[in-house]
Structure 1
Amino acid sequence: MGNCKIKKRSKLLHDCEGSVSLLGLYMFVVGTMIGAFALDYTYLEATKTQLQVAADQAAHAALYNRRTMSEADAKIAAVGIIQPLLPSGKYGEIISDYSIEFGTYDRDSLQFTSEAGSNEAVRVTTSMLAEKNNAAPSYLFTMLGVDHFDIKARATFMTYKPGCLREGLMADGIVDLQSNNSFSNGFCMHSNTYVSINQNNYFEPGTVVSMPNIADLDMPRSGFDKNSGLQEALRDQRMNLNVLNRLDEIRSGLESGIGQYVPTYIQSPVIAYMKAQTVTQDMLTSNVIHRIDCQGSKLTIDGSSAAIENVVIITPCPISFSNDSKIANAAIFTTDTSARSITAPQGLQIGRNDDCAEGGGAQLITMGGVSVASKLSMFGGQILAKKDVDFAANADGMQGASIVTRGTINGTSNSKMGFCLSGMEQNFETDYYRMAE
């Protein structure tokens, strides 16, 4: 056996084969310890990942369902989502209603504060603990006296509302604007396809122009030279226009007169039913929801002599506004699906011209499209449409405006589009959800 020398003493201690056996024993012990560590570590990491995924899913589900459910029901829904993934029969009580907390989240201090009844944020803890009799078992580490591990995971989700969906021009299709427009700080223009812009437009610092790929921006060769501030305003992003998924929900809420979508100026869930082809303010009852049947024709809304205000109108008919009509503190919803389900020849004013004061806004919602021939003005106004929106605006007629559509937006020239922040409190919005920590 090589250089090994056999002596007449104990072969068990000095024989070459014996020395190899001792080394093998040491290697076996060390290998077993390393294997135990690797096996248990891999298991613990996999289990912790499962708990984290469960916490993430439960937190999102709890906050999403809190929008329409009570706190208790939202917790039950969240727990129900996790059960098929980590069944209690195998994993014990991973999550329960007491490990789901609703509250608020301060983005500056990064602090979650538990607050009963809140729907702004949620914190969820998933766990496998000895005190709950579902601790993660140890395998080879039991040789070292460690027979279980306590594991926890936590997720915090919060709601937010993208500023661009509050004020701006937002479309799944192309957003096409022409020349000589100006956009003030905070105003957004977004397309989930691409933006087309002509020339001699001005984008104040703080303006956002976005699309999935800014390389798709359509503009003349001299575009950046002839569109001051445009290059600085560009952003790569895609946005889900989730509020458009809620149109049926908004309609149902307005039809019932109950729930979060009913404007504050509606004082009673009583619904007024009418049959008419033309309506004026004096035909309507203030602070009441009206369902109007145009009897197979179109519904003409004449707000020229007196503004249509403090009412909700729901109709299955296409709507035509008379020249120079005004609406304020009013929501008008048509379920008509035609490409021109809401039209106005000229001078339609959506919202009260009150220099961005609170209140006075107005909303037009349609399952079809919108076309305003000229002089559209919006002062704390909102248009939600499933199809294209075509408009030509007043020169100074956009001060607090939100247009959101599944179709395209074909815009105007010679307009100033200003940012208000206030005066749009009644607009229909939906929460977005993101992980806070």
Structure 2
Amino acid sequence: MRRAVTAAMIGNATEWYDYAIYGYLAVTLGGVFFPSDDPTVSLLASFSAFALAFLIRPLGAFFFGPLSDKIGRQRSLSITILVMAGATFAIGLLPGYATAGVFAPIALVVLRLVQGFAVGGEYGGASTFAVEYAPDKRRGMWASWLEFGAIAGFLLASGLVALLTVYLPHDAMVTWGWRVPFLIAGPLGSIGLYLRMKLVDTPSFRALEDNEEVARAPVRDTLTNHWRHVLICIGIVMYSSIGTYTILTFMPSYFSETLKTGAGSAQLLVFAAGALLTIGIPAAGILSDRVGRKPLLVAAALGYAVLAYPAFWLMSLGSMPGLLSGVLLLTLCQIPILGTTTAVLPALFPTRVRGTGVSIGYNVSHAIFGGTAPLLATFLVDRTGSSFAPAFYLIAVSLVALIPVLMSPETAGRPLREE
């Protein structure tokens, strides 16, 4: 079990590294692929391409989710990482707008769509794989390591971009420096693919194969018989995804463009947030095995409702202590969510359609809420002229999220659903 979860975690980290790079380079990519006299227009165009990848994710979910329920979790996960790494590596080879004109942003958008399609199958397959291997009494702890891997991927991307931003002159970063993180995806993807190819599928799925009970129409089964749990999944992922992408993707540009913090300092602040997440997520997973998943999810929602405004007030002070305190305050609210959801979501569905149910609910929610979070937050700041606007967005979302959280069943310590 330890080997299976570790390999899934490393593969997950590799794939989310690929996906996160774009967000951390949004400002630079805006100038390279969407040049404009107004930096805000370039940034909005860059975040629009970021959001488009999320819109294609449900298509990937409807493809890879059922695939994992038909041919197995391990095979599906191997395909997703291969496609993701290839698309990310190709972005690093693209010419900029100054060289290729309109072809450059079109090619970038196409490759982002390929990334979105691949990642549409990642979380559903990986979370199902980890949860089906984990023992009931320690499912929260083992499942949290998958989210740890995802944040580690974000952290690796953030740290690499921070180093490049600090040590490379601006002209070098615009000319060739931005390509380096994308090109590294090639060897990283090869490592992740190798690890996943060595895995054995979960006991739960192998039992379905042995009994000839593998679902023939998992999408129809899921949407007909388990639609209520799909809606609960969408609602829980709503505030999880908005919080994650506000902290890890929106904040670098918010610090540098709105609060006028240096680009290097902005990346280091987000790196600090990611580091706190990697420490807190396993702890939250362990705690959820003892006190339950729902108390932590409720606490996180209430935390955002109470602390989002003070966090943005601290950041508005502009000092490094204020900036760091503000972003870490938001991060503390996010930890209980990320530490528990990987155990919560797969447990909503029976084995036959687990990959399909989680993939659809997770990615539909990310398409609607997560992918648009940086774009909407940037738009709100630009239109209102207030640096506090994203705080009110987080408050509203967290209060709405209490509804699906309270409607969800408590699954800590209980066996996974079989039927």
Q: TM-score w.r.t. structure 2 length?
A: 0.24
> By percentage of residues, which structure has more helix?
2
Task: Give the number of the structure whose alpha-carbon radius of gyration is greater.
Answer: 1
The alignment's TM-score, normalised by the length of structure 1, stands at 0.23
Relative contact order higher in (CA < 8 Å, ≥ 6 apart): 2
Q: Of Structure 1 and Structure 2, which has the larger fraction of its residues in strand?
A: 1
